[in-house]
Structure 1
Amino acid sequence: MSHPLYVQLTQQLGYLAWPLFICAFLCLLIVLERLALVVSELLKRDAWLTDLRQQSLSATQVKRQQLIISLSQGKSMLARGTALLLTHAEQHKTMREEIINLWLLKQKDKLQSGLRVLQIIGIITPLLGLLGTVLGLIEMFDQLGLSDGPVTPSQLATGLGLAMNTTAAGLIIAVPAITMAHLLTLWADQRCNKMAHALNQLNLWLDGLDQALNIGGDAPATLSQTSTSATQGNRARSSCKVEVNE
Protein backbone atom coordinates (compact mmCIF):
# COMPACT_ATOMS: atom_id res chain seq x y z
CA MET A 1 0.00 0.00 0.00
CA SER A 2 2.94 2.36 0.71
CA HIS A 3 4.42 1.88 -2.77
CA PRO A 4 1.44 3.30 -4.71
CA LEU A 5 1.31 6.22 -2.24
CA TYR A 6 5.01 6.95 -2.78
CA VAL A 7 4.55 6.78 -6.55
CA GLN A 8 1.57 9.08 -6.33
CA LEU A 9 3.47 11.63 -4.23
CA THR A 10 6.43 11.44 -6.60
CA GLN A 11 4.16 12.19 -9.53
CA GLN A 12 2.59 15.11 -7.70
CA LEU A 13 5.88 16.65 -6.50
CA GLY A 14 8.01 15.91 -9.54
CA TYR A 15 11.78 16.30 -9.29
CA LEU A 16 11.55 17.86 -5.84
CA ALA A 17 10.01 14.79 -4.22
CA TRP A 18 13.31 13.47 -2.84
CA PRO A 19 14.58 16.80 -1.44
CA LEU A 20 11.27 17.40 0.29
CA PHE A 21 11.18 13.84 1.64
CA ILE A 22 14.69 14.20 3.05
CA CYS A 23 13.81 17.52 4.72
CA ALA A 24 10.64 16.08 6.21
CA PHE A 25 12.51 13.00 7.48
CA LEU A 26 15.26 15.07 9.10
CA CYS A 27 12.71 17.41 10.63
CA LEU A 28 10.79 14.49 12.13
CA LEU A 29 13.94 12.89 13.56
CA ILE A 30 15.17 16.11 15.17
CA VAL A 31 11.80 16.97 16.68
CA LEU A 32 11.31 13.47 18.13
CA GLU A 33 14.84 13.42 19.58
CA ARG A 34 14.45 16.87 21.15
CA LEU A 35 11.01 16.02 22.56
CA ALA A 36 12.46 12.85 24.10
CA LEU A 37 15.13 15.02 25.80
CA VAL A 38 12.48 17.44 27.08
CA VAL A 39 10.37 14.61 28.51
CA SER A 40 13.38 12.95 30.13
CA GLU A 41 14.41 16.22 31.81
CA LEU A 42 10.87 16.91 33.00
CA LEU A 43 10.59 13.45 34.54
CA LYS A 44 13.87 13.82 36.47
CA ARG A 45 12.75 15.73 39.55
CA ASP A 46 15.51 17.40 41.57
CA ALA A 47 13.97 16.65 44.96
CA TRP A 48 17.38 16.90 46.64
CA LEU A 49 17.53 20.63 45.86
CA THR A 50 14.13 21.24 47.48
CA ASP A 51 15.20 19.33 50.60
CA LEU A 52 18.47 21.25 50.73
CA ARG A 53 16.66 24.58 50.51
CA GLN A 54 14.33 23.60 53.35
CA GLN A 55 17.19 22.54 55.59
CA SER A 56 19.51 25.52 54.90
CA LEU A 57 22.41 23.73 56.59
CA SER A 58 25.98 24.92 56.47
CA ALA A 59 28.20 23.57 53.71
CA THR A 60 30.34 21.38 55.95
CA GLN A 61 32.58 18.62 54.66
CA VAL A 62 30.15 15.95 55.90
CA LYS A 63 27.21 17.70 54.28
CA ARG A 64 29.06 17.96 50.95
CA GLN A 65 29.93 14.25 51.01
CA GLN A 66 26.32 13.32 51.76
CA LEU A 67 25.13 15.51 48.91
CA ILE A 68 27.63 13.97 46.48
CA ILE A 69 26.39 10.49 47.44
CA SER A 70 22.77 11.49 46.87
CA LEU A 71 23.64 13.13 43.55
CA SER A 72 25.34 9.96 42.31
CA GLN A 73 21.87 8.49 41.85
CA GLY A 74 20.51 11.51 39.96
CA LYS A 75 20.82 11.79 36.21
CA SER A 76 19.49 15.25 35.52
CA MET A 77 21.72 17.99 34.13
CA LEU A 78 21.45 20.00 37.32
CA ALA A 79 22.51 16.99 39.40
CA ARG A 80 25.61 16.49 37.24
CA GLY A 81 26.46 20.19 37.41
CA THR A 82 26.08 20.21 41.19
CA ALA A 83 28.30 17.14 41.49
CA LEU A 84 30.93 18.93 39.39
CA LEU A 85 30.66 22.00 41.62
CA LEU A 86 31.02 19.96 44.81
CA THR A 87 34.08 18.11 43.53
CA HIS A 88 35.77 21.52 43.12
CA ALA A 89 34.51 22.88 46.43
CA GLU A 90 38.05 23.45 47.69
CA GLN A 91 38.80 25.82 44.81
CA HIS A 92 38.38 29.57 45.03
CA LYS A 93 34.92 30.99 44.36
CA THR A 94 36.06 32.66 41.14
CA MET A 95 37.58 29.42 39.89
CA ARG A 96 34.35 27.54 40.63
CA GLU A 97 32.39 30.16 38.69
CA GLU A 98 34.64 29.71 35.66
CA ILE A 99 34.24 25.93 35.81
CA ILE A 100 30.45 26.19 36.04
CA ASN A 101 30.29 28.73 33.21
CA LEU A 102 32.22 26.40 30.91
CA TRP A 103 29.97 23.52 31.92
CA LEU A 104 26.81 25.57 31.30
CA LEU A 105 28.00 26.56 27.83
CA LYS A 106 28.49 22.90 26.97
CA GLN A 107 25.05 21.98 28.31
CA LYS A 108 23.46 24.81 26.32
CA ASP A 109 25.03 23.44 23.16
CA LYS A 110 23.58 20.01 23.98
CA LEU A 111 20.11 21.42 24.64
CA GLN A 112 20.16 23.39 21.37
CA SER A 113 21.70 20.61 19.30
CA GLY A 114 19.92 20.16 15.98
CA LEU A 115 17.78 23.27 16.34
CA ARG A 116 19.86 25.22 13.83
CA VAL A 117 19.34 22.42 11.31
CA LEU A 118 15.63 22.62 12.05
CA GLN A 119 15.63 26.35 11.37
CA ILE A 120 17.56 25.81 8.12
CA ILE A 121 14.98 23.23 7.04
CA GLY A 122 12.24 25.75 7.80
CA ILE A 123 13.96 28.24 5.49
CA ILE A 124 14.87 25.85 2.67
CA THR A 125 11.57 23.99 2.23
CA PRO A 126 9.50 27.06 1.18
CA LEU A 127 12.21 27.86 -1.35
CA LEU A 128 12.01 24.30 -2.67
CA GLY A 129 8.26 24.74 -2.92
CA LEU A 130 8.75 27.97 -4.86
CA LEU A 131 11.19 26.20 -7.16
CA GLY A 132 8.58 23.51 -7.74
CA THR A 133 6.08 26.21 -8.61
CA VAL A 134 8.40 27.65 -11.23
CA LEU A 135 9.17 24.19 -12.69
CA GLY A 136 5.47 23.38 -12.81
CA LEU A 137 4.69 26.56 -14.69
CA ILE A 138 7.54 25.88 -17.11
CA GLU A 139 6.16 22.39 -17.78
CA MET A 140 2.69 23.80 -18.32
CA PHE A 141 3.92 26.34 -20.87
CA ASP A 142 5.94 23.63 -22.65
CA GLN A 143 2.82 21.51 -23.04
CA LEU A 144 0.89 24.51 -24.30
CA GLY A 145 3.62 25.25 -26.81
CA LEU A 146 3.48 21.72 -28.23
CA SER A 147 -0.29 21.88 -28.67
CA ASP A 148 -1.68 23.26 -31.94
CA GLY A 149 -5.32 23.13 -30.87
CA PRO A 150 -7.27 25.03 -28.25
CA VAL A 151 -6.11 24.91 -24.65
CA THR A 152 -7.93 22.30 -22.56
CA PRO A 153 -8.13 21.96 -18.78
CA SER A 154 -6.23 18.66 -18.92
CA GLN A 155 -3.22 20.43 -20.41
CA LEU A 156 -3.18 22.92 -17.54
CA ALA A 157 -3.84 20.42 -14.77
CA THR A 158 -0.44 18.71 -14.78
CA GLY A 159 1.69 21.85 -14.61
CA LEU A 160 -0.53 23.72 -12.20
CA GLY A 161 -0.89 20.65 -10.00
CA LEU A 162 2.90 20.29 -9.73
CA ALA A 163 3.24 24.01 -8.98
CA MET A 164 0.63 24.02 -6.19
CA ASN A 165 1.60 20.68 -4.66
CA THR A 166 5.26 21.55 -4.18
CA THR A 167 4.39 24.90 -2.63
CA ALA A 168 1.95 23.26 -0.22
CA ALA A 169 4.44 20.50 0.67
CA GLY A 170 7.18 23.05 1.39
CA LEU A 171 4.92 25.07 3.67
CA ILE A 172 3.62 21.94 5.44
CA ILE A 173 7.21 21.05 6.35
CA ALA A 174 8.40 24.60 7.09
CA VAL A 175 5.68 25.72 9.50
CA PRO A 176 6.14 22.88 12.07
CA ALA A 177 9.93 23.04 11.68
CA ILE A 178 10.16 26.77 12.47
CA THR A 179 7.56 26.55 15.25
CA MET A 180 9.27 23.64 17.02
CA ALA A 181 12.70 25.24 16.58
CA HIS A 182 11.56 28.40 18.38
CA LEU A 183 9.68 26.53 21.12
CA LEU A 184 12.59 24.19 21.82
CA THR A 185 15.01 27.12 21.85
CA LEU A 186 12.86 28.90 24.43
CA TRP A 187 12.78 25.75 26.57
CA ALA A 188 16.56 25.33 26.31
CA ASP A 189 17.17 28.93 27.37
CA GLN A 190 14.76 28.60 30.28
CA ARG A 191 16.38 25.36 31.41
CA CYS A 192 19.88 26.89 31.26
CA ASN A 193 18.75 29.94 33.23
CA LYS A 194 17.26 27.76 35.96
CA MET A 195 20.41 25.66 36.20
CA ALA A 196 22.61 28.76 36.30
CA HIS A 197 20.49 30.26 39.09
CA ALA A 198 20.61 27.07 41.17
CA LEU A 199 24.36 26.60 40.66
CA ASN A 200 25.07 30.21 41.62
CA GLN A 201 23.08 29.66 44.81
CA LEU A 202 25.05 26.51 45.56
CA ASN A 203 28.31 28.34 44.89
CA LEU A 204 27.40 30.95 47.50
CA TRP A 205 26.27 28.18 49.84
CA LEU A 206 29.73 26.60 49.61
CA ASP A 207 31.20 29.90 50.81
CA GLY A 208 29.21 29.66 54.04
CA LEU A 209 26.09 31.69 53.20
CA ASP A 210 23.38 29.39 54.60
CA GLN A 211 20.44 31.37 53.19
CA ALA A 212 21.94 31.49 49.67
CA LEU A 213 19.71 28.61 48.55
CA ASN A 214 16.63 30.73 49.27
CA ILE A 215 17.73 33.74 47.24
CA GLY A 216 15.04 34.57 44.72
CA GLY A 217 12.27 32.99 46.77
CA ASP A 218 10.09 34.18 49.62
CA ALA A 219 12.73 33.60 52.28
CA PRO A 220 14.70 36.85 51.66
CA ALA A 221 11.56 38.93 52.22
CA THR A 222 10.97 37.15 55.54
CA LEU A 223 14.60 37.64 56.52
CA SER A 224 14.49 41.32 55.64
CA GLN A 225 11.31 41.75 57.66
CA THR A 226 12.90 39.99 60.60
CA SER A 227 16.05 42.08 60.39
CA THR A 228 13.93 45.25 60.15
CA SER A 229 11.96 44.27 63.23
CA ALA A 230 15.17 43.49 65.07
CA THR A 231 16.63 46.87 64.07
CA GLN A 232 13.53 48.67 65.25
CA GLY A 233 13.70 46.77 68.54
CA ASN A 234 17.34 47.72 69.01
CA ARG A 235 16.49 51.36 68.35
CA ALA A 236 13.66 51.21 70.89
CA ARG A 237 15.94 49.70 73.52
CA SER A 238 18.58 52.32 72.79
CA SER A 239 16.07 55.13 73.25
CA CYS A 240 14.90 53.59 76.52
CA LYS A 241 18.46 53.50 77.78
CA VAL A 242 18.91 57.15 76.92
CA GLU A 243 15.77 58.09 78.82
CA VAL A 244 16.92 56.12 81.86
CA ASN A 245 20.32 57.81 81.81
CA GLU A 246 18.68 61.17 81.65
Structure 2
Amino acid sequence: MEFITNAGHLFLQGGLVMWPLLICSIIAITILIERVCMYNAAKSNMDTLKAKVAELVPQGKWKELRQVCEEDGGVAAELVETAASQPHDVDKQTQALQGAAGAIAARLRAHLNYLETIVTLAPLLGLLGTVTGMIGSFSVLSVSDGEPFAITGGVGEALIATATGLCVAIIALVIHAYLVQREDSLVSEMEEVGAVYMTALVGDNDAA
Protein backbone atom coordinates (compact mmCIF):
# COMPACT_ATOMS: atom_id res chain seq x y z
CA MET A 1 0.00 0.00 0.00
CA GLU A 2 2.83 2.37 0.87
CA PHE A 3 4.53 1.58 -2.44
CA ILE A 4 1.38 2.51 -4.37
CA THR A 5 1.07 5.74 -2.39
CA ASN A 6 4.71 6.67 -3.06
CA ALA A 7 4.37 5.78 -6.74
CA GLY A 8 1.27 7.95 -7.02
CA HIS A 9 3.08 10.82 -5.32
CA LEU A 10 6.03 10.55 -7.71
CA PHE A 11 3.65 10.32 -10.67
CA LEU A 12 1.99 13.60 -9.71
CA GLN A 13 5.36 15.25 -9.13
CA GLY A 14 6.48 14.39 -12.66
CA GLY A 15 4.05 16.86 -14.23
CA LEU A 16 1.67 16.65 -17.16
CA VAL A 17 3.99 14.56 -19.36
CA MET A 18 3.50 11.65 -16.97
CA TRP A 19 0.03 11.09 -18.45
CA PRO A 20 1.19 10.48 -22.04
CA LEU A 21 3.98 8.31 -20.62
CA LEU A 22 1.36 6.29 -18.73
CA ILE A 23 -0.62 5.90 -21.96
CA CYS A 24 2.53 4.75 -23.77
CA SER A 25 3.22 2.11 -21.13
CA ILE A 26 -0.38 0.85 -21.27
CA ILE A 27 -0.18 0.60 -25.07
CA ALA A 28 3.12 -1.33 -24.86
CA ILE A 29 1.72 -3.85 -22.35
CA THR A 30 -1.48 -4.23 -24.38
CA ILE A 31 0.49 -4.96 -27.55
CA LEU A 32 2.61 -7.49 -25.65
CA ILE A 33 -0.45 -9.40 -24.40
CA GLU A 34 -2.24 -9.30 -27.76
CA ARG A 35 0.81 -10.35 -29.79
CA VAL A 36 1.79 -13.16 -27.40
CA CYS A 37 -1.73 -14.60 -27.60
CA MET A 38 -1.66 -14.28 -31.37
CA TYR A 39 1.80 -15.84 -31.74
CA ASN A 40 0.90 -18.73 -29.44
CA ALA A 41 -2.16 -19.47 -31.58
CA ALA A 42 -0.06 -19.15 -34.77
CA LYS A 43 2.42 -21.85 -33.71
CA SER A 44 2.34 -25.05 -35.77
CA ASN A 45 3.31 -28.61 -34.94
CA MET A 46 6.19 -28.54 -37.39
CA ASP A 47 7.25 -32.19 -37.19
CA THR A 48 3.73 -33.46 -37.92
CA LEU A 49 3.03 -30.82 -40.56
CA LYS A 50 6.23 -31.43 -42.51
CA ALA A 51 5.70 -35.18 -42.38
CA LYS A 52 2.14 -34.85 -43.68
CA VAL A 53 3.20 -32.46 -46.44
CA ALA A 54 5.96 -34.79 -47.59
CA GLU A 55 3.51 -37.72 -47.51
CA LEU A 56 0.33 -36.26 -49.01
CA VAL A 57 1.62 -33.87 -51.70
CA PRO A 58 3.29 -36.55 -53.85
CA GLN A 59 0.08 -38.61 -53.60
CA GLY A 60 -2.05 -35.66 -54.66
CA LYS A 61 -4.25 -35.96 -51.58
CA TRP A 62 -5.09 -32.26 -51.45
CA LYS A 63 -8.31 -32.60 -49.51
CA GLU A 64 -6.60 -34.59 -46.78
CA LEU A 65 -3.76 -32.07 -46.70
CA ARG A 66 -6.15 -29.16 -46.27
CA GLN A 67 -7.86 -31.03 -43.45
CA VAL A 68 -4.53 -31.52 -41.69
CA CYS A 69 -3.79 -27.80 -42.07
CA GLU A 70 -7.18 -26.79 -40.66
CA GLU A 71 -6.64 -28.99 -37.62
CA ASP A 72 -3.16 -27.54 -37.06
CA GLY A 73 -4.33 -23.93 -37.14
CA GLY A 74 -0.86 -22.33 -37.28
CA VAL A 75 0.43 -19.85 -39.83
CA ALA A 76 2.72 -22.43 -41.44
CA ALA A 77 -0.30 -24.68 -41.94
CA GLU A 78 -2.28 -21.71 -43.26
CA LEU A 79 0.44 -21.16 -45.86
CA VAL A 80 0.26 -24.78 -47.01
CA GLU A 81 -3.54 -24.74 -47.04
CA THR A 82 -3.57 -21.63 -49.23
CA ALA A 83 -1.17 -23.21 -51.71
CA ALA A 84 -3.02 -26.54 -51.70
CA SER A 85 -6.23 -24.74 -52.65
CA GLN A 86 -4.66 -23.35 -55.86
CA PRO A 87 -4.06 -25.05 -59.23
CA HIS A 88 -1.17 -27.44 -58.76
CA ASP A 89 1.12 -25.97 -61.40
CA VAL A 90 4.61 -25.24 -60.06
CA ASP A 91 4.64 -21.59 -61.17
CA LYS A 92 1.17 -20.89 -59.79
CA GLN A 93 2.05 -22.69 -56.58
CA THR A 94 5.19 -20.57 -56.20
CA GLN A 95 3.18 -17.39 -56.68
CA ALA A 96 0.54 -18.58 -54.22
CA LEU A 97 3.15 -19.37 -51.58
CA GLN A 98 4.91 -16.03 -52.01
CA GLY A 99 1.67 -14.05 -51.87
CA ALA A 100 0.36 -15.91 -48.84
CA ALA A 101 3.71 -15.66 -47.04
CA GLY A 102 3.82 -11.90 -47.56
CA ALA A 103 0.26 -11.41 -46.29
CA ILE A 104 0.80 -13.60 -43.22
CA ALA A 105 4.15 -11.95 -42.40
CA ALA A 106 2.48 -8.52 -42.54
CA ARG A 107 -0.17 -9.78 -40.13
CA LEU A 108 2.50 -11.07 -37.78
CA ARG A 109 4.28 -7.69 -37.83
CA ALA A 110 1.10 -5.75 -37.04
CA HIS A 111 1.40 -3.23 -34.17
CA LEU A 112 5.17 -3.69 -33.76
CA ASN A 113 5.74 -0.28 -35.36
CA TYR A 114 3.86 1.29 -32.44
CA LEU A 115 6.47 -0.13 -30.06
CA GLU A 116 9.24 1.40 -32.17
CA THR A 117 7.46 4.77 -31.89
CA ILE A 118 7.15 4.43 -28.11
CA VAL A 119 10.86 3.60 -27.78
CA THR A 120 11.66 6.90 -29.51
CA LEU A 121 8.85 8.99 -28.04
CA ALA A 122 9.09 8.10 -24.33
CA PRO A 123 12.59 9.57 -23.68
CA LEU A 124 11.60 12.72 -25.57
CA LEU A 125 8.51 13.11 -23.41
CA GLY A 126 10.67 12.62 -20.32
CA LEU A 127 13.10 15.25 -21.53
CA LEU A 128 10.22 17.62 -22.23
CA GLY A 129 8.99 17.13 -18.68
CA THR A 130 12.45 17.91 -17.32
CA VAL A 131 12.78 21.08 -19.39
CA THR A 132 9.35 22.40 -18.44
CA GLY A 133 9.97 21.47 -14.81
CA MET A 134 13.31 23.32 -14.76
CA ILE A 135 11.69 26.38 -16.34
CA GLY A 136 9.15 26.34 -13.54
CA SER A 137 11.88 25.84 -10.94
CA PHE A 138 14.00 28.75 -12.07
CA SER A 139 10.95 30.99 -12.15
CA VAL A 140 11.03 30.59 -8.35
CA LEU A 141 13.94 33.04 -8.34
CA SER A 142 11.59 35.88 -9.13
CA VAL A 143 9.21 35.13 -6.26
CA SER A 144 11.18 33.22 -3.62
CA ASP A 145 14.35 35.17 -2.79
CA GLY A 146 16.39 33.42 -0.16
CA GLU A 147 14.90 29.95 -0.84
CA PRO A 148 17.54 28.09 -2.92
CA PHE A 149 16.11 24.71 -1.96
CA ALA A 150 12.95 25.54 -3.88
CA ILE A 151 15.02 25.48 -7.06
CA THR A 152 16.87 22.22 -6.40
CA GLY A 153 13.68 20.57 -5.21
CA GLY A 154 11.94 21.57 -8.40
CA VAL A 155 14.76 20.20 -10.53
CA GLY A 156 14.58 16.92 -8.61
CA GLU A 157 10.86 16.67 -9.32
CA ALA A 158 11.44 17.42 -13.00
CA LEU A 159 13.96 14.58 -13.28
CA ILE A 160 11.19 12.14 -12.36
CA ALA A 161 9.78 12.65 -15.85
CA THR A 162 13.11 11.81 -17.48
CA ALA A 163 13.55 8.67 -15.37
CA THR A 164 10.00 7.57 -16.19
CA GLY A 165 10.48 8.21 -19.90
CA LEU A 166 13.66 6.12 -19.94
CA CYS A 167 11.96 3.29 -18.04
CA VAL A 168 9.02 3.23 -20.46
CA ALA A 169 11.41 3.27 -23.44
CA ILE A 170 13.52 0.42 -22.02
CA ILE A 171 10.44 -1.70 -21.32
CA ALA A 172 9.06 -1.04 -24.81
CA LEU A 173 12.43 -1.90 -26.35
CA VAL A 174 12.61 -5.23 -24.51
CA ILE A 175 9.01 -6.04 -25.51
CA HIS A 176 9.76 -5.15 -29.14
CA ALA A 177 12.89 -7.33 -29.22
CA TYR A 178 11.00 -10.29 -27.75
CA LEU A 179 8.06 -9.96 -30.15
CA VAL A 180 10.35 -9.58 -33.17
CA GLN A 181 12.11 -12.79 -32.16
CA ARG A 182 8.76 -14.59 -31.92
CA GLU A 183 7.71 -13.20 -35.30
CA ASP A 184 10.99 -14.25 -36.93
CA SER A 185 10.51 -17.75 -35.55
CA LEU A 186 7.07 -18.04 -37.13
CA VAL A 187 8.32 -16.67 -40.45
CA SER A 188 11.13 -19.23 -40.38
CA GLU A 189 8.55 -21.98 -39.85
CA MET A 190 6.65 -20.77 -42.92
CA GLU A 191 9.82 -20.75 -45.00
CA GLU A 192 10.74 -24.22 -43.79
CA VAL A 193 7.38 -25.84 -44.52
CA GLY A 194 7.15 -23.94 -47.83
CA ALA A 195 10.44 -25.46 -48.91
CA VAL A 196 9.22 -28.94 -47.95
CA TYR A 197 5.98 -28.35 -49.84
CA MET A 198 7.70 -27.18 -53.04
CA THR A 199 10.24 -30.03 -52.88
CA ALA A 200 7.42 -32.58 -52.64
CA LEU A 201 5.44 -30.84 -55.40
CA VAL A 202 8.37 -30.60 -57.83
CA GLY A 203 9.25 -34.24 -57.17
CA ASP A 204 5.63 -35.19 -57.84
CA ASN A 205 5.56 -33.24 -61.11
CA ASP A 206 8.88 -34.72 -62.22
CA ALA A 207 7.59 -38.19 -61.52
CA ALA A 208 4.49 -37.43 -63.58
TM-score strictly above 0.5 = yes
Of the three residues 68, 71, 75, the one matched with 1:70 is: 68
Using CA pairs under 8 Å that are at least 6 residues apart, name the structure with larger relative contact order, 1 or 2: 2
Which residue in 2 is equivalent to 1:25?
26
Distance 1:82 1:58, change over 3 A: closer
Q: Taking structure 1 as the reference length, what is the TM-score of the superposition?
A: 0.73
**Partner residue, 2:118:** 121
Where in structure 2 are the equivalents of 1:124-135 lying within 5 Å? 124-135=121-132
Query: SS at the partner of 1:22?
Result: helix
Mapped to 2, the partners of 1:188 and 1:58 lie a distance apart of 27
1:85 to 2:83 alignment: yes
Runs of 4+ in structure 1 over 6 Å off: none
Residue of structure 1 equivalent to 2:179: 184
Superposed displacement of residue 48, structure 1:
2.7
The residue type equivalent to 2:76 in the other structure is L
The letter of the residue matching 1:64 is W
Q: Are 1:147 and 2:144 an aligned pair?
A: yes
| Alignment of 1:159 onto 2:190 | no
Partner residue of 2:100 out of 96, 103, 106: 103
Q: Percent identity?
A: 25
Aligned to 1:8: 9
Asked if the contact 1:132/1:162 (under 8 Å) is kept, the reply is no
Residue type at the aligned position of 1:101: Q
Alpha-carbon distance, 1:29 to partner? 0.5
TM-align CA RMSD = 2.6
Partner in structure 2 of residue 168 of structure 1: 163
User: Cα–Cα, structure 1 residues 58 and 182, in superposed 2: closer, same or farther, change >3 Å?
Assistant: closer
3-state secondary structure, aligned to 2:71: coil
Figure out how many residues of one structure are paired with residues of the other and give that number. Answer: 204
1:120 partner letter: T
Unaligned stretches of 5+ in structure 1? 211-246
Question: Is contact 1:136-1:160 (8 Å) kept?
Answer: yes
Determine whether 1:39 maps to 2:36.
Answer: no
Instruction: Map Cα deviations across residues 169-224 of structure 1 (whole Å, 9 max, x no partner).
Output: 001100121222133223323321331231132023123359xxxxxxxxxxxxxx
| Separation in 2, partners of 1:51, 1:104 | 20
Larger Rg, first or second structure (1 or 2): 1
